[in-house]
Each structure stands twice: as C-alpha cells, then as structure tokens.
C-alpha cells in the first residue's frame, strides 16, 4: 500500500511540475473565422412553445438542495436562485455552507441579496427519518439530491428519495452510477407511483442532457427507416472536459472511483466490458472546441440507453486536457481496483491533489463538451449527430439540472422513478428541457445524413449568443 501511495504522489508531482510550463488558455467565446453557413437564431425566453415546460415554474418554489455546499450542489442552488426559487441547502456542516455561500456571492455579485437568503438545514442523506423531519419543517415543492459521490452506494440507504416519496415531494438527483440508480428504481418505483410522486434520477449534463440528445436522435433515425429495429442502432457518446472542469473534491473522488471499473460497452446487444482510458480516438466537438482524444470510460448512459431503447451497440468515450491528464488517468486505471474503489483512500487522494488540479485548471480552462452520434449497421446511409459545448463545467451542470427541475415542477413528468429518457418520453418535452439546459452553452449543433433534421428539432429556438453549426461546419 505504501508503494502505491508513493507512485500516486510521484505521478501527481510530475503533473504539477509540467503544469508550470503551460501558458494560460483563454475561455473560448466563439470562432470569428467560422464558415458563412453558420447561423444565429433567437430564443426570446425560457419556454419552448411546443411544451409547457419553462423556467416560470421555478419562481417562488421552495426547493431543498441536499449537498448544496459542494460544487455541483452549489451550481444547482445558484441557478435556482437566479430563476426565482427559494432555496434551502441541506448538509452536515454549516461552516461548509457558509464558505460556499460567500464564494457564490463573489461569483454572482449581481445576485448577492438573493444568494444571501439561501438558508441551511442539517440533514443526514442516508436517514429517511432525518429527511422527513426536514420536509415536515417546511412545505417544500421539490428536493434535489446532489450529495455524491454515488459510486458503490447500491447497499447504502438513500434516505433522500425514501423521505421524498413518503412525504409526496417530487425528487431529482444527479446520480452518475448505473448500479446505484438502478437499485433506487427497483426499490422505489412502485412506491413512487402509488404516492403519485415524480422522480427523475441521473440528471445533469452527462448523464441527463446527453441521454435526451440520444433519445431524440434514436427516434429520428428509426422514423427515417421504418425497417430498422433498435437492435440495428449504434449510439456513440463522446465527452470532453478541460482540466477538471473546476471540479471539487467530490467530483474528483467520483472520477477516481469510476477508474476502478471496466468500461461497459454494448456490442450486438451483449454487455462487453473493456479497459478504461486505454485506446484513444479523435472526436470533433465543433469549431470552438475542436478535435479531442477520447477513450472508453464506464459512464451511465451506455447502460441506460441500451436498457430503455434496446439499442444494439452503445459506447461512451471521455477525454480531458492537457494531454498528460489523459496519461495520468490511464496510469491510474492500471492500479488495483481494490485500491481505486476505496472511497476513503480516494477522498484523501482528491484532497491532496486538489491544489495541483487547480493549477492545471487555471491554464487549461473548464470547457465541457459532449457529442452523440447515432447510426445504423443495417442502413449505413443514415446518420444523426448533436453537439453541446459550454465554456465552464460548473455552471453548466447547474443549468442542466435546473432544466430538469423545471420539467418536474411544470407537471410534465409522470409518477415513478425514471431516467431522463424515460421521464421525458414526449419529444416536445425533451426538446423543451434541452432548450432550457442550453441557455448558457456557447455551441449547440446537429448534423444529419439521410434524415430531415434541423437544430430546432433537438435544441428548440436559439438565442443570439449560441453558435449553431450546419453540417458543412464539421
């Protein structure tokens, strides 16, 4: 064990040393030299006309954000406040909340007074009794569970969803572990239906927005060729984050825990695990982000899209920058899984490495991008793709989660415990959520061959700040 720790420290030290030789990277704002085929359209407000889902549903709603002091939870809390919600942060340490709230006020000084009104309540996420006590203290309209990491929590009680269902309060979470999410579905689906409680699990940018991108593209391909079946469909997810994306310790822990797992791929309908972060391929994330190297990683969408749609082939690839981050992740993936799966050790490693990560992030930026490609083995003439890119992962996550919150509070999500692609099976509603989730994106695009597909079919009406790329721009 001591030898392994020394190896990790040496690797991180090398990364820290090399980071000092980088030059600061400006946050991409757009490409002034992009082709004339690029166009800019306008979305006037936060409501997509074909659906009732909009940000207005959040105004004056009382929302509890469990784990709200963390980077993900804090992003959700601040985005909710910006949309007029009354937010309470649930956590275990008030000091963490106070520190985070001060940071939020510094970041969003134009919402200083609103953020100052965010309150705190002590809560135990594993205790349904603790959660129900909090829910009884106020008339909450929604609970958002962001207290990760969620990896390896199959046998750990989820007191948040249990308490919400018991008190008939709608629930949203950001669980990014398939086994943990599936366990919640299996245990609480019938109870949620009987109580009439709408619960969406595994929301955010990826999973979440990525899942809706895939669901809409899959439907378009199947509609274009009626002879196709889901088993004939291929779905390729690609994700990119510059540096850590501004991640906090919890997200770093989650990344380390994921490295302990083989990357699930679906090949000809069969589950096929492959080594994580080994073989790289270049994927184009649009004109602004460009081509980036990505490799297999065990991400939730691979399993959920296969299970929900019966898709025959699915894989998820991930990459980061600078390039040595990919090398480091690949080396860490070779460590014993028993070590990587130890949350206590990974938490200590995350805390130790956070200063180094912050130095790298300063130079690398925090860009987040995702791409989904849907093709068919039976009809290779058909292809549909979509890209989403945001200049900063931290607000990106909050914006995406809040879009799902709006869907729940708009009354468009049926009772039960469902993944995003199940909860928003209506195409207009899925487009409405993607429209809201892309409110801060700098790039959204679609591309299709053999299919009539416009950007509005996936992203809804667009506002001026977003760059919409045609197929000629890829």
Q: Which two tokens stand for residue 300?
A: 């939730």
CA-angle at 311, arms to 298 and 283, nearest 5°: 55
What is the pTM (predicted TM-score) of this model? 0.85
CA distance 444 to 470: 10
From the list 61, 307, 274, 336, the residue with the least C-alpha distance to 185 is: 307
Q: Which two tokens stand for residue 168?
A: 């008939």
Give residues with Cβ within 8 angstroms of 264, minimum separation 6: 178, 271, 272, 273, 298, 302, 303
Residue 436 burial (C-beta neighbours within 10 Å; 0-12, 13-18, 19+):
buried
Task: Indicate if the alpha-carbon torsion angle 427, 87, 253, 357 is positive or negative.
Answer: positive
Residue 459, CA distances (Å) to 60, 158, 166, 429 in order: 27, 33, 35, 11
CA distance 232 to 222: 9
pLDDT by 10s per residue, the chain, length 474: 444 444 444 344 434 333 333 333 333 333 332 222 222 333 444 444 457 899 999 999 999 999 999 989 999 999 999 999 999 999 999 999 999 999 999 888 889 899 999 999 999 999 999 999 999 999 999 999 999 888 888 889 999 999 999 999 999 999 999 999 999 999 999 999 999 999 999 999 999 999 999 999 999 999 999 999 999 999 999 999 987 656 655 556 666 766 778 899 999 999 999 998 888 999 999 999 999 999 999 999 999 999 999 999 999 999 988 877 767 777 777 777 777 777 787 777 777 776 776 676 666 678 999 999 999 999 999 999 999 999 998 899 999 999 999 999 999 999 999 999 999 999 999 999 999 999 999 999 999 999 999 999 999 986 555 555 443 333
CA distance 390 to 466: 10
Pairing mode, if any, of strands 233-242 and 368-376?
Answer: antiparallel
Q: Which helix (H) or strand (E) holds 120?
A: strand 119-122
CA distance 239 to 218: 18
Instruction: Please give the pLDDT value at position 280.
Output: 92
CA distance 146 to 160: 10
Give residues with Cβ within 8 angstroms of 186, minimum separation 6: none
CA distance 443 to 27: 13
Start-to-end CA distance of the chain, whole Å, equals: 47
CA distance 276 to 283: 17
Q: Which helix (H) or strand (E) holds 387?
A: strand 383-390
Q: Which helix (H) or strand (E) holds 273?
A: strand 270-274
Q: Which helix (H) or strand (E) holds 438?
A: none
């Amino acid at each position: 064990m001591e030898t392994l720790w020394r190896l990790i420290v040496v690797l991180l030290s090398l990364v820290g040393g090399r980071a000092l030789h980088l030059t600061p990277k400006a946050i991409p704002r757009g490409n002034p030299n992009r082709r004339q085929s690029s166009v800019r359209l306008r979305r006037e407000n936060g409501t997509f006309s074909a659906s009732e889902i909009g940000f207005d549903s959040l105004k004056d709603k009382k929302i509890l954000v469990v784990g709200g002091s963390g980077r993900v939870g804090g992003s959700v809390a601040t985005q909710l406040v910006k949309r007029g919600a009354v937010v309470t942060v649930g956590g275990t340490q008030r000091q963490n909340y106070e520190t985070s709230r001060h940071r939020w006020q510094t970041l969003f000084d134009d919402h200083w007074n609103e953020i100052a009104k965010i309150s705190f309540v002590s809560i135990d996420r594993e205790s349904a009794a603790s959660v129900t006590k909090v829910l009884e203290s106020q008339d909450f309209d929604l609970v958002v569970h962001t207290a990760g990491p969620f990896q390896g929590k199959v046998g750990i009680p989820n007191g948040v969803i249990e308490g919400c269902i018991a008190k008939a309060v709608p629930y949203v979470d950001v669980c990014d572990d398939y086994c943990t999410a599936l366990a919640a579905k299996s245990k609480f689906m019938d109870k949620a239906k009987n109580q009439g409680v709408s619960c969406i699990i595994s929301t955010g940018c990826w999973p979440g927005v990525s899942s809706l991108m895939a669901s809409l593209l899959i439907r378009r391909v199947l509609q274009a060729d009626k002879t196709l079946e889901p088993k004939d469909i291929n779905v390729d997810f690609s994700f990119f984050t510059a540096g850590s994306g501004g991640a906090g310790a919890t997200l770093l822990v989650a990344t380390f825990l994921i490295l302990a797992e083989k990357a699930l791929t679906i090949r000809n309908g069969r589950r096929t695990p492959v080594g994580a972060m080994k073989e790289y391929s270049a994927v184009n994330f649009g004109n602004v982000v460009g081509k980036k190297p990505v490799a297999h990683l065990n991400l939730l969408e691979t399993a959920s899209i296969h299970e929900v749609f019966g898709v025959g082939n699915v894989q998820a690839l991930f990459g980061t920058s600078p390039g040595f981050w990919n090398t480091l992740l690949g080396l860490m993936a070779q460590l014993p899984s028993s070590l990587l799966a130890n949350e206590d050790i990974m938490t200590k490693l995350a805390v130790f490495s956070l200063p180094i990560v912050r130095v790298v992030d300063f130079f690398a930026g925090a860009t987040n991008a995702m791409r989904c490609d849907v093709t068919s083995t039976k009809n290779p003439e058909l292809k549909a793709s979509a890209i989403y890119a945001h200049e900063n992962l931290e607000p990106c996550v909050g914006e995406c989660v809040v879009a799902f919150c709006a869907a729940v509070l708009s009354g468009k999500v049926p009772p039960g415990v469902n993944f995003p692609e199940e909860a928003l099976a209506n195409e207009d509603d899925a487009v409405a959520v993607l429209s809201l989730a892309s409110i801060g994106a700098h790039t959204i695009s679609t591309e299709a061959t053999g299919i009539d597909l416009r950007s509005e079919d996936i992203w809804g009406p667009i506002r001026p700040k977003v760059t919409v790329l045609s197929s000629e721009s890829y």
